[in-house]
């Protein structure tokens, strides 16, 4: 992201960075940091990249320190997902099993009825989820469909759950009417860096995504926005993604970091998987650059062993998708998650609980 207001000095972006200072000096890095900034441009890409380049233990120590300054490290926010409209999507996102362009064998399902959505939300609540996220395979919602989603939002909220939806691009009016229905969060990911994005999606632009986020933010809804790693992108791309998120006028309240779930038939199936340590680094860098945001260890968790997940929590992840399914692919089981949380002494955060 362009940043014209920088000072070249060993100044730190936050006020508790002695470890970072040392590590950066060890690595002979020149640090460019804005003076006392807030808002756009607070994290130059070079600084984000410098975090990625730290020795692993230094990065994790720093991330865990930032985490503890802002959150209870033994609490996890649990969000459950439901695909309320599945497949037959006109977009060409190369990672996605729901695009109509790829033969993935997915069963297409029309928009669910409100009663069925609410039933799934009740189950999620009974299992201990605090937030219920409804996902639809749309480029953007049609007005008639939006009315159904809004009724579902009202009824899910009445159950005492936080509500989230991911329905594709929104204009300002659609964002306002979802807010009026009581939607707490809107999920719309930047997915990757602006330059790598063009390799992954051609049917909508990076700017379209930023515009949707601006509409959501503009009506006062909470923003959930993150990305996918393991799509064959470089470390530089990951650093640019994190910088773009951290430099939004307000960092997203929730930041999902997805590890690509490879689905047969999609163009990104069989891409070289990301090294585990690089995934953990991405979580740590998100935590340091967005200290008060919830960082969600998102898709790809089912394939991670317990030790890998524990390191992600150590790196500052404090939210997961919880429940047997993501949208169209499977997730870690509720039983296993409960066992893991018990082993690690981690409690679920209940709804309305302050961070």
Reading phi first (left if > 0) and then psi (alpha if -120 to 50, else beta), residue 236 is in alpha
Residues 98-117 as x/- pattern, contact with ligand SF4 by CB under 6 A: xx------------------
Segment lying near ligand SAM (by CB under 6 A), choices 102-110, 130-138, 242-250, 342-350:
130-138
CB of 294 to ligand DTB, least distance (A): 12
Q: Does 23 bind ligand SAM (CB under 6 A)?
A: no
Cβ-proximal residues to 49 (8 Å cutoff; 6+ apart), any chain: 235, 236, 239
Q: Which of 42, 67, 125, 188 binds ligand SAM (CB under 6 A)?
A: 188
Q: Is the dihedral of CA 231, 80, 355, 210 positive or negative?
A: positive
Q: How many CB atoms lie within 10 A of CB 9?
A: 11
312 given a catalytic annotation: no
Contacts to ligand DTB by CB under 6 A: 81, 97, 135, 166, 187, 189, 226, 256, 258, 261, 298-299, 326-329
261 counts as binding ligand SAM under rule CB under 6 A = yes
User: Nearest distance from residue 197's CB to ligand SAM, in Å?
Assistant: 11
Concatenated DSSP letters of 234-255: -HHHHHHHHHHHHTSSS--SEE
Cβ distance to ligand DTB smaller for residue 63 or 268: 268
Q: Is the dihedral of CA 310, 311, 314, 319 positive or negative?
A: negative
* Length in residues, the chain: 355
DSSP 139: S
Q: Are 309 and 285 in contact (CB under 8 A)?
A: no
CB of 100 to ligand SF4, least distance (A): 8
Structure tokens at 315: 């790196």
| Contacts to ligand SF4 by CB under 6 A | 89, 91, 93, 96, 98-99, 137, 139, 168
Q: Which residues are catalytic?
A: 89, 93, 96, 133, 164, 224, 296
Task: Give the binding site for ligand SAM (CB under 6 A).
Answer: 89, 95-96, 98, 135, 137-138, 166, 168, 188-189, 191, 228, 258, 260-261, 263, 299, 327
């Amino acid at each position: 992201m362009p940043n014209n207001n920088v000072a070249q000095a060993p100044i730190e972006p936050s006020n508790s960075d002695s470890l970072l200072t040392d590590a950066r000096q060890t690595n002979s890095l020149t640090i460019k940091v804005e003076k006392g900034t807030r808002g756009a441009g607070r994290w130059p890409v070079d600084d984000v990249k410098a975090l990625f380049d730290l020795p692993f233990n230094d990065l994790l120590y720093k991330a865990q320190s930032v985490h503890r300054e802002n959150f209870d490290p033994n609490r996890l926010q649990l969000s459950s997902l439901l695909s309320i409209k599945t497949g037959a999507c006109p977009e060409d996102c190369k990672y996605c099993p729901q695009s109509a362009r790829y033969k993935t064998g997915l069963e297409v399902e029309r928009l669910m009825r409100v009663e069925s959505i609410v039933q799934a939300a009740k189950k999620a609540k009974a299992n201990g989820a605090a937030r219920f996220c409804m996902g639809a395979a749309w480029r953007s919602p049609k007005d008639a469909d939006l009315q159904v989603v809004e009724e579902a939002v009202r009824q899910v909220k009445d159950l005492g759950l936080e509500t989230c939806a991911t329905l594709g691009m929104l204009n300002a009016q659609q964002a306002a009417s979802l807010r009026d229905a009581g939607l707490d969060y809107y999920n719309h990911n930047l997915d990757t860096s602006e330059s790598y994005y063009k390799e992954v999606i051609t049917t909508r632009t990076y700017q379209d995504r930023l515009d949707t986020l601006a509409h959501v933010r503009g009506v006062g809804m909470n923003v959930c926005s993150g990305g996918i790693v393991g799509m064959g992108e470089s470390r530089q791309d990951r650093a640019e993604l994190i910088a773009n998120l951290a430099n939004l006028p307000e960092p997203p309240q929730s930041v999902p970091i997805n590890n690509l779930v490879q689905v047969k038939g999609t163009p990104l199936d069989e891409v070289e998987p990301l090294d585990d340590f690089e995934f953990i680094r991405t979580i740590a860098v998100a935590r340091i650059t967005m200290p008060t945001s919830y960082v969600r260890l998102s898709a790809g968790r089912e394939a991670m062993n317990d030790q890998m997940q524990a390191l992600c929590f150590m790196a500052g992840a404090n939210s997961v998708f919880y429940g047997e399914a993501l949208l169209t692919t499977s997730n870690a089981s509720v039983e296993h998650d409960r066992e893991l949380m018990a082993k690690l002494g981690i409690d679920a955060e209940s709804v309305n609980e302050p961070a």
